[in-house]
Homo-oligomer: A and B are copies of this chain.
């Protein structure tokens, strides 16, 4: 496995694989790799000959009061994990390489798709993600890129970017990796105290409960969702959102129609830790 940090080195690394006739699947990460990331790499391996991973904590997707500084960083451990998964090249740029040191004049703007869900709670979050992923796509030019379904709004927004910007890349969503008690794996789970960790699976359980009610026939889930939010608050969560969203435009939906795909998604804080989770509802 190669580890490279400059753009010219990653381009040569990819060019070598291309020259050998290999297809390339790309897994962009912010490091602090857990079993969820490893499942993305395994799926990537099924989709192409070689896997390229990036490890970069992207400053433009963090708000001023968010956890950029404290975001977990463990490069050596991450590199070892990539090696064990059979990754070919790991790209580990720094901020200067990714964004230069001078003025930044160009931005990517997103309408509607980022107004609600995590975009509603984290202004400019998805524009920062689009900015860095657009760069990474142009640097690496993979055939396939793999993202986690856990960040479903990110996946939908990036799929739309690929379409509108004409990136010649197939995006693949990997299923949510969960702990035995159902908690969606996340690098931010490392922030949880033992007590919070015990409460944390409640978010997924709330989603599962709502899913069951909807599958049993509830088509206007507003009160049901309100009730589950109250339950979560009673357990010690501070709710951000818990709602059903359109798969197309990421807007909240009041009335569910059969034959349609929705996202049932929630975000809630335990202490300072923000947890998200979702279930895709094919009705």
Write the residues of chain A forming the contact surface with B, with a CB cutoff of 8 angstroms.
7, 11, 100, 103-113, 130, 134-135, 138-139, 141, 160-161, 163-168, 249
Contact = CB atoms under 8 A, between A and B. Distances in A.
A210 B161 CA distance: 45
Given A105-B160, A160-B105, A138 B167 contact: yes
A168 B18 CA distance: 15
25 contacts: A7-B166, A11-B168, A100-B163, A103-B112, A104-B111, A104-B164, A105-B110, A105-B112, A106-B109, A106-B110, A106-B111, A106-B130, A106-B160, A106-B164, A107-B108, A107-B109, A107-B110, A109-B109, A134-B165, A135-B164, A135-B165, A138-B165, A138-B168, A141-B141, A141-B168
A105 B110 CA distance: 6
Contacts of A130: 106
Contact of A107 (B105, B111, B134, B163): B111
A105 B100 contact: no
Number of copies: 2
Which 7 A/B pairs are nearest by Cβ-Cβ distance? Answer: A107-B109, A138-B166, A106-B164, A135-B166, A109-B109, A139-B166, A105-B111
Contacts of A166: 7, 135, 138-139
Contacts of A141: 141, 168
Contacts of A108: 106-109
A270 B179 CA distance: 71
A103 B273 CA distance: 35
Given A106-B161, A135-B164, 18 more contacts: A7-B166, A100-B164, A103-B112, A104-B164, A105-B110, A105-B160, A106-B130, A106-B160, A106-B165, A109-B109, A134-B165, A138-B138, A138-B165, A138-B167, A138-B168, A139-B166, A141-B141, A141-B168
